[in-house]
Structure 1
Amino acid sequence: MSNSVAPSFNRPSHPWLQWVYLGCLMVGAVLPWWFLAPFFQQYGFAPAEFLHQALANPVAIDLAIDLLISTLVFFIWVWIELPRLGLGRGWWGLCVVATLGIGLSCGLPLFLLLRHRQLTVA
């Protein structure tokens, strides 16, 4: 692949995507906690009870494993992609905290927003 073709693949073609990513980030930050709030009100911080309920049946276990693998792949991708974009590894920490603290529904749109903005500036 020639260098003249590569930049077109790196530049976002739709400037409005940053607003889509921002909207997904906000929804992905609020919606999971909306459903978790009743759990924390009833049980408080109870990791054992959380895991018991989260892994209550084979379907839930399948979803949890799928999410775990997807999250691991996401962390690897962010670790590799940030330096390529010219962003510091500190952003990796922010994406990890957003993902582990809220969920992949927050960490992934956060990273996509950072990536989009960096590619738009580049």
Structure 2
Amino acid sequence: MSLLRKIYLGLAIWGAIHPMYYFISWLMKNDWDWGGMIDAWYVNESSTGLTWDLTIAAITLTIWIVAETWARKNWLALVAIPATFGIGLSCGLPLYLFLRSRPVT
């Protein structure tokens, strides 16, 4: 495995663990109130802007993943889509780059 692929994989793992620590910590303190967590994303203009920034980037990444998967027939790369929306862009993007950079047979 190349150094670049190792970096992508490391970033995907970090992007899964680090944000989840904060999400789970918040949910544990707030009785697993998912609606409250979503409300917290829109508590002020700064967090609302960041939420929309990440949402638009996630949608863009999804379109790119679908387009390239269709062209390259690298079907495994589609797992980056649920990772992006279920965990976050910080996991989905490096995961996709990791999967995209592997030799396709």
TM-score w.r.t. structure 1 length?
0.77
Which structure: larger Rg?
A: 1
Alignment of 1:1-122 (within 5 A): 15-88=2-75, 91-92=77-78, 94-118=79-103
Taking only aligned residues, the RMSD between alpha carbons, in angstroms, comes to 1.6
Does the CA contact (< 8 Å) of 2:20 and 2:87 recur in 1? yes
- Per-residue CA deviations over 1:32-83 (Å, capped at 9, x if unaligned) read 1111122111223323201221110001011111111101100000000112
Does the CA contact (< 8 Å) of 2:27 and 2:37 recur in 1? no
CA-CA distance at 1:108 after TM superposition: 0.8
Runs of at least 5 residues in structure 2 that lack an aligned partner in the other structure: none
Cα distance in structure 1, aligned partners of 2:72 and 2:85: 23
Runs of at least 5 residues in structure 1 that lack an aligned partner in the other structure: 1-14
Tell me how many residue pairs correspond in the alignment.
Answer: 104
- Per-residue CA deviations over 1:13-47 (Å, capped at 9, x if unaligned) read xx311011011011001001111122111223323
Does the CA contact (< 8 Å) of 1:33 and 1:102 recur in 2? yes
Does the CA contact (< 8 Å) of 2:77 and 2:100 recur in 1? no
